[in-house]
Structures are given as C-alpha cells and as structure tokens.
C-alpha cells in the first residue's frame, strides 16, 4: 500500500495509461483483477478546453474503477491548466496525471509528451501552475530522457516534486528508443533515491517475477504494467498475488480467456455501441487469443467481424476446440 497525496493505493500494481486501449471497459476489467490503481488513456488538453464531444466522452469513469488517474497531454501551460481545472471540477477521477512520456511524433511535434523532458525548468513551471489550480493530486508520467545525450530523469523528477507533484511514474526508456531495446532500471533507481514522493517504475515488466525484481532492484513504490496486460488481465492478478504471498498462480485456461474477452466486449459495446466496439475489439481479441493453439487460423475472420454475434461465435469456437483437445489428451 502507498499514497498519492490523500489517495490510498491498496497494492503496488498499477495499470499503465495506454492510448487507444485504456477506456473504461478495459480499465474496469483490469480493476476487477486486482490492480491497485488504473490509469486512463491520455486525453488532449485542447480537446477538453474546446469541448470536443469525442474527447469529453473519454472522461467517463465508472465508480467501480476507482481509484483512477486521468491523464492529460498538451504542449502549452495555459491549456494544460484549463484542462486540469475541468478534470478537477467535472470528473470523478482521483488523480490528474500529466503525460511527459509519449514518444509519438504527432504528439512531440506539438511540444507535448516526451518533448517536456528536455527542460526541467519548464516542467517545474507547468506542474506548479497545475498544482496551484486544482485540488486533486497531480502526478507526472515520464521517460528517463529524450535520447542518450539528454537523460534528465533525476532533475525532471525533482522539478515535479519541487512544484508540488505527488508522484512520478518513470518508463525506463528514452524517447528515441520508443518501445525498443531494454528499459534502464538503474536510472529509475536513481530517481527513487533522489525524491521523497512515490515513484512508480515502468518498462520490461512482463511477468510477476519481473515486478518483484523491479521492486527489489530499484526500491520503487509501485510497478506499472502496460503491454503485458493486453488481452491478459491475469498478469495483474498473478502479480498482485505473487507480490503478496509469493505464490505463482497458473496461467488462465483458453475458456477463462474467452469468457473474460466476451465480458470485455459487452462492456465496450455498452460504452461505444456495437459497430465501433466490435471494430475496436478485434485487436483485443487477437491479444486474448495469444498462446491458444489453433487461434491463428481465425485471426483473419476476426478482422472481418462487424457484429457481436459473429465475434462471439468465433471466440467460443476457439474455446470449444481447446477444451476438446484437452479432453482428448487426458483420455490418452
């Protein structure tokens, strides 16, 4: 357990904010698997300020997801402050997070995301202004640096703390690395040693054992899990259990995977309507099916699905075939 401002986080496992993934349907599913904190996908400050309907819909939070951190991004102090004030007053988020880690060019070209990492003074200035304008705790998610020549993780985290930020999450890669190469946990450790606010480590946590190793090697307060949870909320549950008891729970059966995939699908339909939800769910279905024998042959058919019934029939077919194989293997 640790605290971010006055928000109590029940365990040390945090769902990362992943663009195009972390909507309410996915977050609630992961929350039910035991995540101490879930983070919403990044939302544009200008989209909020200019009342863009699609953007405002992204601010929806189911009470069952809480505690929840809602992330905003932007490249200008004025609009970030306005957006933070809107989130503070008009949403039931518990924490306001500022994205200073997104490496995608269309974000960094607007001076947003990882572009902030080049100037600790600018980070101090914007975080201080946001902290001053809102009541909810303010945090920052960042990378260790822009490239190998510009690694200011310690200075940037100290700037966040000095400005009144209540926690910092650090992805152990530079902007130039994107999602390639190895995450540098040594720099995450340096950040933890340099500040007194909670530090959440992120990068290369693919198994419950990785999570334990990150906690032990870096001393961070929490571990953030991103891509390893795609189609696999069991990664969250297995990690929480492993950290608390040392017990490694078995991987889910194909039937368990399909059942949760269908629950996720129905939640997404309730959130966005069948047409959009089924299209979005295709990528999630591929993630849920990963590792299930015989699933590869229906991938193309999944990408053609336009209705809930079509997608559900394919998924249930995979589950039944897997169960039949397992029964035959036992009989031999």
CB 164 within 8 A of CB 137: no
CA separation for the pair 170, 22 (Å, rounded): 18
Strand partners, 156: none
Alpha-carbon Rg for the chain in angstroms: 20
Tokens at residue 64, please? 């069952």
CA separation for the pair 45, 82 (Å, rounded): 8
Q: 254-272 and 24-32 are packed helices; what angle lies between their axes, rounded to 10 degrees?
A: 140
- DSSP per residue, 111-135: T-GGGGGG-HHHHHHHHHHHHHH-S
Q: Is 238 annotated as a binding residue?
A: no
Q: Is 141 annotated as a binding residue?
A: yes
Please tell me whether the peptide bond between 143 and the residue prior to it is cis, using omega within 30 degrees of 0: no
Q: Is 10 annotated as a binding residue?
A: no
CA separation for the pair 125, 107 (Å, rounded): 20
DSSP state of 51: T
Catalytic residue among 22, 102, 261, 305: 102
Q: Is 20 annotated as a binding residue?
A: no
Q: Is 150 annotated as a binding residue?
A: no
Q: Is 17 annotated as a binding residue?
A: yes
3-class state of residue 29 by DSSP: helix
CA separation for the pair 78, 322 (Å, rounded): 55
CB 167 within 8 A of CB 199: yes
Q: Is 54 annotated as a binding residue?
A: no
Q: Is residue 102 annotated as a catalytic residue, yes or no?
A: yes
Half-sphere exposure of 204 (CA within 13 A, CB side): 13
Q: Is 171 annotated as a binding residue?
A: yes
CB 12 within 8 A of CB 222: yes
Residues annotated within the binding site are 17-19, 71, 141, 171, 226-227
Residues annotated within the binding site for FMN are 17-19, 71, 141, 171, 226-227
Active site residues: 102
């Amino acid at each position: 357990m640790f605290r971010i401002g006055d928000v109590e986080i029940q365990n040390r496992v945090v769902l990362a904010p992943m663009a195009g993934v972390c909507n309410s349907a996915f977050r609630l599913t992961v929350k039910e698997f035991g995540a101490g904190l879930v983070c919403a996908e990044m939302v544009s400050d200008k989209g909020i300020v200019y009342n863009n309907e699609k953007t405002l819909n992204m601010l929806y939070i189911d009470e069952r997801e809480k505690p929840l951190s809602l992330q905003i991004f932007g490249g200008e102090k004025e609009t970030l402050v306005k957006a933070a004030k809107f989130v503070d007053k008009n949403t039931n988020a518990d924490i306001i997070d500022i994205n200073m880690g997104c490496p995608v060019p269309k974000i960094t070209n607007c001076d947003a995301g990882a572009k902030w990492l080049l100037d600790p003074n600018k980070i101090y200035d914007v975080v201080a202004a946001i902290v001053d304008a809102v009541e909810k705790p303010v945090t920052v998610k960042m990378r260790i640096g822009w490239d190998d020549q510009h690694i200011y993780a310690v200075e940037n985290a100290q700037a966040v703390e000095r400005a009144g930020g209540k926690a910092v999450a650090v992805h152990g890669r530079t902007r130039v690395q994107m999602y390639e190469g190895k995450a540098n946990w040594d720099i995450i450790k340096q950040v933890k040693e340099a500040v007194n606010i909670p530090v959440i480590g992120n990068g290369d946590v693919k198994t419950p054992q990785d999570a334990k190793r990150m906690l032990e090697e870096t001393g961070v307060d929490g571990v953030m899990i991103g891509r390893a949870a795609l189609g696999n909320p069991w990664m969250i549950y297995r990690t929480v259990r492993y950290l608390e008891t040392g017990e490694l729970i078995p991987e889910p059966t194909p039937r368990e995977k399909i059942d949760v995939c269908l629950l996720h699908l129905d939640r997404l339909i309730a959130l966005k309507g069948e047409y959009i939800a089924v299209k979005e769910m295709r990528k999630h279905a591929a993630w849920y099916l990963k590792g299930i024998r015989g699933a590869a042959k229906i991938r193309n058919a999944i990408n053609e699905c336009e209705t809930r019934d079509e997608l559900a029939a394919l998924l249930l077919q995979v589950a039944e075939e897997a169960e039949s194989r397992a029964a035959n293997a036992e009989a031999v």
